[in-house]
Amino acid sequence: MTVNDKLNFTMLCDFYELTMGNGYLDAGMGDRICYFDLFFRTVPDGGGFAIAAGLDQIISYIQDLHFGPEDIAYLRGRGIFSEKFLEYLANFKFTGDIWAVPEGTPVFPYEPLVTVRAPAIQAQLLETYMLCVVNHQSLIATKASRIVRAAQGRTVLEFGSRRAQGADAAIMGARAAYIGGCAGTACAISDQLFGVPAGGTMAHAWVQMFDTELDAFRAYCRTYPQNATLLVDTYNTLQSGIPNAIRAFDEILKPMGIKKCGIRLDSGDLAYLTRIARKMLDDAGWTECAITCSNSLDEYIIQDLINQGACIDCFGVGERLITAKSDPVFGGVYKLAGVENPDGTITPKIKISENVAKITNPHFKKVYRFYSRSTGKALADYLCVHDETVDDSGTIEIFDPDATWKHKEVYDFKAKELLVPIFQGGELVYDRPTLPQIKAYCAEQIGTLWAEVCRFENPHHYYVDLSQKLWDIKNKLLHERK
């Protein structure tokens, strides 16, 4: 499902994808089968891992990939494309193969999140939209995961729509935040479109609309007795807000036998105020009253609040989540890895740069994750050529690609392929999970990572190694192009 079903996202491409496509056709290379990898180079915020997200939107995009008459007219009007190419686009249909890691999978730099095998023009046209979707949703899912882990089991809600960079960022951001572990969102349309649980109670305007704060609280409790969460910091949190909330609870909810309710604070010293608020509520008999806090929160502030003994049951996190404010670029790229020859063999391709981080891993690849049979924990990831298989009955020596003198032996492990088929011959072969299933899978997979990989500061460097065969191919290409 797309945010705007009337918009044809086929044209959400960089113009060079069209000029190259026209050139490929003119050079007789339009149907040449090639392999592209979508991967990223750096985990945001210096974290130990990222969360893959956005695959479901890629699937919808591929299924609707077409050029309409208005698109062809626009391109013809540019005066640089051949009629042969425009006819090709008018009859365009994706016929290639796609593999991807399932959404919610913890992932690491340089390993493919998506691999595309398709004719050159088709593969090239996918670049911008796929990067746009994966970069954004993986960024927000990764940030949400950090914030949720900082909350240590307390509820986290996504509150960021009004600060998101556009409608699509708000809607898809709420989806990604849910995958990353948030319990729900303030964004109603994300619930309508994707089933991300939406909720909310009142803003300060509600309190200001009434003659008194107490009148506002009474009215809200009467209208929503089963969901009475009162915003107590409009005027004075301790002197009026909490006392008036307690009074409204006593007058309206207690006679109904309702014990569950809540207050929310959106300003002030949250550690201090929530400790006092908890005592006031408990002393008044409202021990089941939950305390929600918002106001420019992130994982570090949440950590500090908990360490300071704040009495907070739920965090509403807005701008610093929906914009991933501390590190707002995921940095995914889409690079050619190989070209298929008429006899079915593959010629590996590599991009070389003076910036070592930009050197790519060539060839059509598999990605394995090794899990300990005794603990179930993830031990390392392993990139190999597509025709290799891993024997997990023995021992494998894994090297750290960033420091090849560092290595460890992996044994008593189970190997699992991370890339799964999504499209084969242009047809969808993947059973799309529901969003709750993706969220549960994400939590389960994060649980397979060691705590050292999950910490925020100086996380343990997770090993991602190349097989000997893949390394030899890469090394040969590096020396051939010196």
User: Which strand (E) or helix (H) includes residue 337?
Assistant: strand 332-340
Q: What's the CA gap between 322 and 137, in Å, rounded?
A: 10
Model pLDDT, residue 402: 59
CATH of range 9-140+328-480; options 3.40.190.10, 3.40.640.10, 3.20.140.10, 3.50.50.60: 3.20.140.10
Beta strands in 359-478 (DSSP E): 365-372, 378-385, 396-400, 403-410, 413-417, 420-424, 427-428, 464-466
Distance CA 471, CA 233 (A): 60
Token pair listed for 395: 């021992």
Interior angle at CA 33, CA 79 and CA 30, nearest 5: 20
Any idea which residue has 């891992």 for tokens?
A: 49
DSSP E strands: which ranges in 85-163?
Answer: 97-100, 106-107, 114-119, 155-158
Let me know: does 362 contact 346? Beta carbons within 8 Å: no
For residue 1, the model assigns a pLDDT of 42
Tell me how long the chain is.
482
Residue 18's contacts (CB-CB under 8 Å, 6 or more residues apart) are 75, 81, 125
Q: Is 449 exposed, middle or buried (0-12, 13-18, 19+ CB in 10 A)?
A: middle
pLDDT at 379: 94
| Burial of 309 from C-beta contacts in 10 A (0-12 / 13-18 / 19+) | exposed
What is d(CA 81, CA 87) in angstroms, rounded to the nearest whole number?
A: 10
pLDDT tens for the chain, residues 1 to 482: 444 456 779 999 999 999 999 999 999 999 999 999 999 999 999 999 999 999 999 999 999 999 999 999 999 999 999 999 999 999 999 999 999 999 999 999 999 999 999 999 999 999 999 999 999 999 999 999 999 999 999 999 999 999 999 999 999 999 999 999 999 999 999 999 999 999 999 999 999 999 999 999 999 999 999 999 999 999 999 999 999 999 999 999 999 999 999 999 999 999 999 999 999 999 999 999 999 999 999 999 999 999 999 999 999 999 999 999 999 999 999 999 999 999 999 999 999 988 888 999 999 999 999 999 999 999 999 999 999 999 888 888 887 655 555 577 888 999 999 999 999 999 999 999 999 999 999 999 999 999 999 999 999 999 999 999 999 999 999 988 76
The residues, any chain, with a CB within 8 Å of residue 61's CB and separated by 6 or more, are 2, 9, 129, 130, 133
Tokens 């060839």 belong to 363
In this prediction the pTM is 0.95
Cα three-residue angle 456-183-107, rounded to 5 degrees: 45
Q: Where are the domains of the chain?
A: 9-140+328-480
Phi, psi of 329 (to 5 degrees): -130, 125
Amino acid identity, residue 213?
E
CA 418 vs. chain centroid, Å, equals 17
Per-residue model confidence (pLDDT) at position 65: 94
